Amino acid sequence: MMGGLFILLSSCKSGGSGLPGITAAGSPGEVLLVMPSSWLKGEIGEQTKSMLRMEVPSLPQTESWLRVQTVSSDDFGQFLRNTRNILIVDYNKDIYTTTSVKYTFDPYAKGQIVVTIQTPDMQSYHKYITERGREICELFLLNELYRMASDLVEDYSPTAMNYCEEIFGCRINVPKDVLSYKKGENFLWLSNNAMKKRYDFAIFKVPYDTSSSLPSARQLIALRDSVLGKEIPGSDPSSHMTTSDYAIEYRLAELPSGKRIVELRGLWEMTPPDIMAGPFIAQAFFSTNEAALYYVEGFVYYPNEDKRDLVRKLHSALFSFRPQNEQMFDPEPIKRIRWSPAEDLTVSDPSFATSKR
């Protein structure tokens, strides 16, 4: 795609080894729904499946959050307990007075999450999943991101790592086939340079008053268009990357360390219009030690194919961007991320020292 969408880059070889250990069974984005047989066969079962299949935001075509398999509570035997994502609906009017959610990682197998909704009655349960369905689905997203990020701990691109260290004094673990690059001033563009199933990363840093609030969604989009529009040209010299006005989502992600970042997702396109376009996911945060704003993005070109899992793969890699003194990428904090709407928030990381030491 360097000769089609973009003009770029250089490349070299890399290596690595996969993450060892026994993992839970199942395909990415698959969930097993366990609930009483009478509920499963009725309207409440259909409502629960619809919640789990809610549309993933900011993709160019409709894709569901999860693929749903079902089993009745009575048939949930040992063989099924190693499924990677499990939602159990535990109905008991004698024990529970309100509907609540609890979740556990790795109770039966490594790389697993089991979410349990405890409820005293159908009415309370319906109200809960109607109001908090996105939060329930995001619990399964945590596990998906964690599993994908775990694959990058040792199996990553040294090429991308080296250039990130050279330009920013930071480290990042991206898939090992990301070998192509373009360097600029406080800017790095990385790509697997594939003809069809293509994914790229763009990283840049700009001076910023970190005592103020983080840019609004529109301000961040304008910054994105300014930098990437200049640095990422299309196949036609007159074309450049821009952000579509369609399907923008802007969220705050808070990690257990207290570090807060904003996530921007949407669709990119080339302007003037051509056939190249796709989804992107980006993270931005302050480095107060540098009085700077960091922006790290993954974007996808994979025409006429589902892109949900590919975007999630890039999303997981964004969490690996870290100061150079943090040698190893630790994906464990991903399990405890909390998302919420984000506009005009002060989002900083005072400990993020990025000097090239």
CA 47/CA 131 separation, integer angstroms: 12
pTM beyond 0.85: the answer is yes
Beta carbons within 10 angstroms of residue 46's beta carbon: 11
Radius of gyration of the chain (CA): 21
- What residues contact 183, with CB distance under 8 A and at least 6 apart? 163, 166, 167, 189
pLDDT of the residue at 17: 31
Output the average pLDDT for the chain: 90
At residue 262's C-alpha, the angle toward residues 115 and 339, to 5°, is: 20
How distant is the alpha carbon of residue 263 from its chain centre? 9
- Give the model confidence (pLDDT) of 90-101 as tens digits: 999 999 999 999
Share of the chain above pLDDT 70, in %: 90
pLDDT of the residue at 25: 94
pLDDT of the residue at 348: 46
CA 296/CA 285 separation, integer angstroms: 9
- Give the model confidence (pLDDT) of 239-277 as tens digits: 889 999 888 999 999 999 998 899 999 999 998 877 789
Q: Provide the b/e sequence for 164-180 (b: ≥16 CB within 10 Å).
A: beebbbbbbbbbbebbb
Region 134-152: mean pLDDT is 97
CA 268/CA 298 separation, integer angstroms: 11
Determine the longest span between alpha carbons in the chain, in angstroms: 69
- Give the model confidence (pLDDT) of 24-36 as tens digits: 999 999 999 999 9
Q: What is the 3-state secondary structure (H, E, C) of the chain?
A: CCCCCCCCCECCCCCCCCCCCCECECCCCEEEEEECHHHHCCHHHHHHHHHHCCECCCCCCCCECCEEEEEEHHHCCHHHCCECEEEEEEECCCCCCCCEEEEEECCCCECCEEEEEEECCHHHHHHHHHHHHHHHHHHHHHHHHHHHHHHCCCCCCHHHHHHHHHHHCEECCCCCCCCEEEEECCEEEEECCCCCCEEEEEEEEEECCCCCCCCCHHHHHHHHHHHHHHHCECCCCCCEEEECCCCCEEEEEECCCCCEEEEEEEEEEEECCCCCEEEEEEEEEEECCCCEEEEEEEEEECCCCCCHHHHHHHHHHHCCCEECCCCCCCCHHHHHCEEEECCCCCCECCCCCCCCC
pLDDT of the residue at 343: 59
Instruction: Determine the residue type at 33.
Output: L
Tokens of 248: 């923008």
pLDDT of the residue at 238: 82
Beta carbons within 10 angstroms of residue 183's beta carbon: 13
Domains of the chain and CATH, by start: 30-150 (3.30.379), 156-341 (3.40.1000.10)
